[in-house]
Amino acid sequence: MNISDSPINHLAIARSSLLEPHDLVDADVFKTLAQITQGQVDYADIYFEISHSEGWSLEDGIVKTGSYTIDKGVGVRAVAGERTAFAHSGEISKSALARAAHATREIGRVGAKTRVDEPRKFRAAEVQKLYLPSDPLSGMSATEKTQLLKNVEQLARACDPRVTQVMAQLTGEYKTMLVVRADGLIAADVRPLVNLSVTVMVEEGGKREVGSSGGGGRFDYSEIDTLFVKNHVNAAVQHAIVNLAAQPAPAGEMTVVLGAGWPGVMIHEAIGHGLEGDFNRKGTSVFSGRIGERVAAKGVSIVDDGTLPRRRGSLNVDDEGNASRCTTLIEDGILRGYMQDALNARLMGTDVTGNGRRQSYSALPMPRMTNTYMLNGPHHPGEIIESVKCGIYAVNFGGGQVDITTGKFVFGATQAYMIENGKVTYPVKGATLIGSGPESLKRVSMVGNDMRLDEGIASCGKEGQTVPVGVGQPTLRLDGMTVGGTR
């Protein structure tokens, strides 16, 4: 079915799952908002949510764990100036709303100089159709899910006799949210999310190595078909086998070529967080106060785009009811904007960008990334490789550390190769990229034309909250990067 042609009433679905089962109607929510806005507040909202999630895991040929969780509740927020009052409850009821309203309206006694008047008329938000509101958990039986994981095991061992261990995880989530704001906006979204991850261990001559792959997005389990599974099993096995032949990576300052796709996680961590509104409003980001300045080499353009159909990081509306959008952060090396939620946009005197996100009803929203990636440049990836006399070609990354205030980072490459005289030669291991986000942007000398997003595996942590995101980039050449190696 074409998503854009499908009749979807997100608000009706949200009302039927979040209000009606608890004997609530719109008028009860409006009454609560009216109680909150009796105080002097600049902004107020009520956020309802119900989430069904499950996880299945296989190890040593056995499906060892299977979990299913239902979490639901409501969060009530009032904002005055920079101060926020917030109450949440795992109970959705008239009495819970009344208690939450009493707790939050106390903020009106301090801080704000203006008052949010009770809206005369509430209006429903225009909601995009980036994914179908299908429930992935109910689309496949438990037997089918466990068999899918067993198929991963069988396929991996059939790929290569050196495979000694296989681990796989299948996860699914079905989340419905409803937000009602004091300015009269009502918005709802129904969000599916699935993921399959595969990890294999191979052994040869007493040497062991690990490889992994995985993918997913905002769709149901029907997308994780035989071809999907085979592709990720083959990728995981190949990753591990390449590492068996890897030699110690050299250390020093050298040219680094980053592969397309998942290496964009470095953009996310080392640059993206520094472009979130709260860090810039507080002046704690290295990018604070630099709108209109050159912060990267010419040809470097980075966007945050929450409107990509069925992508893991996409949202029809954010958790404050604002439509997600494509926000230009850096354009041809010039800093153009930040990612904003309602609070920081108001305090900075700018527009919201649809980046107000929260992990659940029990957490406050904050500016967060959706799908963050670098746009294409003019160069063929082969041309970039051929331009390097001696360097590192990093095609996969593992963990890393980043200091938001300085942009300094350390990232470990889990799959990398040497480039010698314009050709990719042998795999290396132990390569670590060391530098700073702003400085690395200035060292980009060639941008490829092969922009690719990750396979749908990324999650982002900030202040104790985790949300699904997407990352991506084309092949990049960076000059004079510091590489930590093992020789």
**1 has pLDDT over 50:** no
Q: What is the pLDDT of residue 107?
A: 61
pLDDT at 307: 98
For the stretch 8-50, pLDDT in tens is 899 999 999 999 999 999 989 998 988 887 767 888 999 999 9
Burial of residue 91 (CB within 10 Å: 0-12, 13-18, 19+) is: middle
Nearest to 34 by CA among 180, 230, 205: 180
pLDDT, position 310: 98
Measure the CA angle with vertex 206, ends 430 and 154; round to 5°: 90
What gap in Å lies between CA 47 and CA 8, rounded to an integer?
21
For the residues 245-266, what does the mean pLDDT come to?
Answer: 95
Residue from 357, 11, 19, 367 nearest 189 by CA:
11
| CB-based contact 58:64 (threshold 8 Å) | yes
Q: Strands 207-217 and 123-124, how do they pair?
A: unpaired
- CA dist., res. 134 & res. 378, Å (int): 39
Quick check: 114 and 40 in contact, CB under 8 A? yes
The answer to whether the predicted template modeling score (pTM) of the entire model surpasses 0.75 is yes
Rounded-to-integer distance, Cα 90 and Cα 243, Å: 47
Using the Cα atoms of residue 454, residue 303, residue 335 and residue 377 in order, give the sign of their dihedral: positive
CB 83 within 8 A of CB 106: no
pLDDT at 56 over 80: yes
Average pLDDT over the chain, rounded to whole?
A: 93
Is the pLDDT reported for residue 111 higher than 50? no
Tell which phi-psi region holds residue 321, choosing left (phi > 0), alpha (psi between -120 and 50) or beta.
Answer: left
CA angle 434–436–442, rounded 5-degree value: 115
First to last CA, the chain: 54
Q: What is the mean pLDDT of residues 441-450?
A: 96
Mean pLDDT across 248-255 = 95
pLDDT score, position 487: 67
- Tell me the pLDDT tens digit for each residue of 173-196: 999 999 999 999 999 999 999 999
